[in-house]
Amino acid sequence: MCDHNCQCSNNDGTRHNWTTEEIIAIYNKPLMELLYEAATVHRKYHDPNSVQVSSLLSIKTGGCSEDCAYCPQSARYETEVKIENADMMSVSQVKAQTLRAKSAGASRVCMGAAWRNVKDGPEFEQVLEMVRTINKLDMEVCCTLGMITENQAQRLAEAGLYAYNHNLDTSEDYYKEIISTRSYQDRLQTIENVRKTNITVCSGGIIGMGEALEDRANMLVALSTLNPQPESVPINALVPVEGTPLEDAEPVAIWEMVRMVATARIVMPRSQVRLSAGRTQMSQEGQALCFFAGANSIFAGDKLLTTPNPDINEDMRMLNELGIRIQKPFETHPQPTTVEAADSQYHSLGENPKWTRPTHKIERNEEKKRVKKYNHN
């Protein structure tokens, strides 16, 4: 194991050269040993009795052109998410939802739009206005809008964006088995574009998509190699949705989730590790184990974009029962300053980049696409 004072670690104790073998060895430790090590790291860098609570808003639902095998928002699959409901939320609706989340105890609002990438134009201008509005309400604001250019990232930063979410999803090798409409390099490039601003990075992945343990480890290698490491790392357990190519995936066992959280905590000691999708299937005891193992952030609220999530009041009762304090906004990083549109240094460049379009096909994704086409003929 590497000495924390060696050349491959930063002065803050984070290492950026973890190997797949090291991470697999950590993941496979006897559980009590793994929990002890992860909890020790967690206590060194974080208050073990505090959790950051985020609320997720789907500002534009469904009709996405991508073919992510796990996602009901893809226009290619026959799911309960209907494209006719795909209008953007208004700024006033977003403000009302933000105030509701704030009064319930959330410190961050994360806005998701079912887009492949950001295109300059009226919808992006509306998102920028939403960011300004939420930041002025003294709430952390995060966006997940797909791939973005450096100029688009700068415009979001000026508006007051606190964090940008762009998940790596899985390992680079297994990514090709899940998504054929964009490349892993596109994900890394977007994170690099965000890093050129003062916006914090939120990036994690999903387990339970049929990947091997080596893929989970390689995803953690990719995340921990980023310098700096993401400030926030969501760990999602797949929620299989009817109509998607992964609808019949086996549920993720609680021990896998605990091991993944603990391993992420050890290799990314300063990041906030977020318990994301899949909490509905977890008992409160299972969630408490994840908190002990180093999870210190959750998404709370009725829906996680398009999958069920525990009610925020239920979450608050659970955290209270565990004696966990809810973090206030801007505890870990200062609040960004909002620059009004009229005073912005960065302006629309009319960008609509094509990004990468890989040429391979994923048969199970194509099959679900054919099912939808057949049902509509």
In the chain, where the domains are located: 55-251+279-284+304-329+347-371
pLDDT at 315: 86
| Contact yes or no for 205/221 (Cβ under 8 A) | no
Rounded to whole angstroms, how far apart are CA atoms 266 and 284?
A: 23
142 is catalytic: yes
Active site residue 6: no
Q: Which residues of the chain have pLDDT under 70?
A: 1-11, 63, 76-86, 301-310, 368, 371-377
CA-CA distance, 160 to 108, in Å (whole number)? 13
- In DSSP notation, 8-67 reads TB-TTS-BS---HHHHHHHHTS-HHHHHHHHHHHHHHHS-TTEEEEEEEEEEE-S-B---
In this predicted structure, what is the pLDDT of residue 9? 58
Q: What local confidence, expressed as pLDDT, does residue 163 receive?
A: 97
Domain 55-251+279-284+304-329+347-371, CATH: 3.20.20.70
SS3 of residue 207 by DSSP: strand
Give catalytic status of residue 71 as yes or no.
yes
Give the predicted TM-score (pTM) of the model.
Answer: 0.91
Catalytic residue, candidates 155, 182, 274, 279: 274
Active site residue 64: yes
- pLDDT attached to residue 96: 92
Beta carbons of 298 and 315 less than 8 angstroms apart: yes
Active site residue 143: no
Query: Closest Cα to residue 179, out of 366, 48, 375?
Result: 366
Place of tokens 């994900």: 187
Q: Residue with structure tokens 């639902």?
A: 61
Catalytic residue (choose from 15, 68, 155, 182): 68
Residues whose CB falls within 8 Å of the CB of residue 161, separated by 6 or more in sequence, listed in order: 131, 135, 141, 142, 143, 199, 336
Is 68 labeled as catalytic in the residue annotation?
yes
Pairing of strands 50-60, 108-113: parallel
From the candidates 202, 259, 265, 279, give the one annotated as an active-site residue.
202
Structure token pair of residue 173: 């090798």
- Annotated catalytic residue 274: yes
Catalytic residue among 15, 76, 108, 110: 110
- Model pLDDT, residue 66: 76
| Active-site residue, selected from the candidate residues 64, 187, 195, 259 | 64
